[in-house]
Structure 1
C-alpha cells in the first residue's frame, strides 16, 4: 500500500515539475498529461486492492475506481501520441491534430453509456467484453509514439539536442512498451499486469529523477534552474551588434572628418572654420565612444552596497526629480506617503528607479500616465511603478533581465539597465518583477524583504 502511494505521489510530482517549468513547451505539456493519466491508473489500483476490501460501502468506491481506470486506459495513449508528435515536429506545427486523435476517447465513453452493462459503470475496462475497442486504437497509438520519438532522435542535427532526445527516448520507450502491455495482457490472459509493471515503473521514475538532476532532460532541473543558454547567446549577440553599430558610426565620422581636414590643409587658402568644424566632430565622436564605454563599465562592474536607513518616499521623490526633464508631457500619480524606512543603498536604488522611470517614459506616447505606489504586502514592502505604455511582448518579457537585451535601438541604449537593476535588488536579497501586456502597459515591482524593513507606514 505504502509503496503504491509513494509511486503515485512521485509520478504526480514529476508531472508538476515538468508542467510548472515550461508550460508553453508542447512536449512537456502532453508528457505531463501522460504521467497524470498513468497516475489515475495507479490510484485506481490503490482503491481497488487496498481500500475497497476493507470498506463496508463498496459500490461508490468501486464505481470511482472503474471510472479512474477507464480514464487512464483511454487518456494515456492519447497524451502519449501527442507527446510524440510534439517531440517530432518540435512545436512548429499547430496541434489541431489533438482534436482528431481525441475522437476514440469520446467514442469510448459514448459506448459506455449506450451499453452500461459492459462499461465502467458495471465492470472494470480490462474485464469488459468491449475492451478490444480500446486496444484497437491504443496499441497503434503507442507504436506510432515510439516511432515518432526514434525518428525525432535520428533526424536531429544539433548534438546538444540529440543527447536530450536520446535520454528522452531511453525513458519514454520502455514506458510506452509497458503501457502497451497493460492493454494486451488483459485482452489475451484475463489478468492485470500492474503488479508485474510496478518494479519497472519505479525504475523508470528513478531514471527520470536522475537524468533530470544530472542533465536537465524534459526541460527541467530539480532545483527549477532555468536553462538560459539560448537567451544569453541571443542577448550577447544583440549587444555585440549594438556596440558594433555604434563604434562603426563614430569611426566613419572620424574617418570622413580627417579626410576633410587633409583636403583643407592642401588647399591654397585654408578654411579655418571648416577645419575647426571637422575637429569638433571628431572630438564629439571620441567623447561619445568614451561615454559609451564608461556607461558599460559602470553598469557591469561589481555592485558593493553602502547601506543606510532611508525612507523609500525620499528615494522615489529624488528619482522623479532627476527625471523631471523627460516627464513634461507625462502625468505622474504618487500613491505613497512617508514612513516606509528600509535599510538599503540609496544611490543604487535611486539608479534602479531612474532606469525604470526612463524605460516607462520611452514606452509611453503622448498623454502618458506614470503611477508610483509604495505599499506593504505580507512581510515585504513593494515599490510599484506602473505605466500605460506600449508594453512588452510575451516573447520578450522573459529576456528583459538579460545583459544587452533591448527592444530599443538607440546608439546609447545597450540593454544593461534592467540587468543592473535586477542585480541590485538581488544584492539587497529582494526581487524585481515585471508584469507587462502588449499595448496595455507595464508594471515593475521592487520588492524589499522583511529583514530590510525598519518601519512600515500605517496607511
Structure 2
C-alpha cells in the first residue's frame, strides 16, 4: 500500500504541475496504472481475509475474479499507455499523425486478440498454470517498452536545443528506471519461473522513493515538468505575519478614501473665496499623515528589495549617518570604528535606511550630551554592524515588543511604530538578523548580522 501511495504522490505532482500538458497527463497515467499492481496485491493479501470473515456469504472466487479483471487491465493497457506517452513525448502525434494512429490501432488489435485467447476473468488462473501466458505477456509488455524507449531516446538525440534535451533526459531518468524494474520483476522473473524472486517487485518502493526525492530536488533546483518548488523563510508565529493581510486591506481602503477626500477638498477650495480656511488645512494635514502612515506600513510589511549590489560597509554607515546629522543638531558625539571594512552584497538603499532608522532612534533616545558608537566586526557566523547609544535604554518588557508592528514608546503623531519592524524585515530578506541588547538607563545596542556568504573582503571585491 505504501508503494501505491508513493506512486499516487508522484502522479499527482506531475499531473498538477501542468495538467494541460499532454506529456504530464500521460506520465501521470503511467504511474497510476503501475499503482494498480501493488494495490490489487494489497487488497488480496490484507483486505480480502477481513471481508471473508465479515461476509462469509461472498465466496473467494468473486474476489479472485475481480483481481483477474484488474490484472488484465494492468497487463494489457499499460503498454498502450506507455507507447502513447512515448509518441507524445517525441511529438509523433503532431509530426506524423498517420503513424501515431496506426500504432494505436495496432495496439488495440493486439489487446483484442489477447482478450480472445486469455479471457480477463481467468487471468489469475493463467498466471498460476499457463507458461505460454507469461511468454505472450512478456513479449507484449517488454516489446512495447523497448519500442517506446527507442522512440523517446531518438527524440532526445534529435533535439536541437541543449536545454530542452537535458530536461528530456531527466524526464526519462525519472520514468524509465521504475518502469523497467516493474517489467523485469513481473514478466521476466515469472516467465523464467524464478520462485525465489517472484516477490522482489515489492522492493520497487525504494526505487520509487528515490525517484520522488529526485523529482522534488530537481523541482527545487531548476523546475521540472512545469513546477518549481521554492521556500520562503518567515516567522510564522510573529505578529508581523498575522497583521500583514489585514493591514494591506486597511491601507487599500484608506488610499481609496483619501483620494476621494482630496478631490472633494480641491473642489471646495475652488468654490470658496477664502481658500485658506483653517478647517481645510487641518483636514489636509491629517490626510498627509494618513498617506505617510500607509506608505510606512506598506514598506514595513512588504519591503521592496531592488536587487543585490556590492557596497562598502563604510559607505553604508556614513551615508546613513549623514542623513541623521542633518535632522539632529544635539551635542551628541558619534564615533565610528570600521577597522573590519568589507564589501556587503545587499540592497544598498534598504540597508542604508535600516542603519539610518537605528541611528535616528539612538539620537532620539539621548536628550543631550550623549554618545553614539558605531563599529563593525566579525563574530563566529556573520559580519556585524553595531550601533550603541548612551540613551535611556529599555526595560526587558520593551525589548520583547520593539520589533512588533505599531509598538512605539514615542508620544508624538509622526512615529507609527513600524521602523524597527521594517528593519527586521529587511534583514530577514537578506538572510540576516537584528539583535538588541539593553538595560534601563544604560543605553542600547543594536547589532546587524549579515551572513558570511554576503561578505567580500576588499581584496576579493577588487578582483571581482
Sort the TM-score into its range (normalised by shorter chain): 0.3 to 0.5
Q: Which has the larger radius of gyration?
A: 2
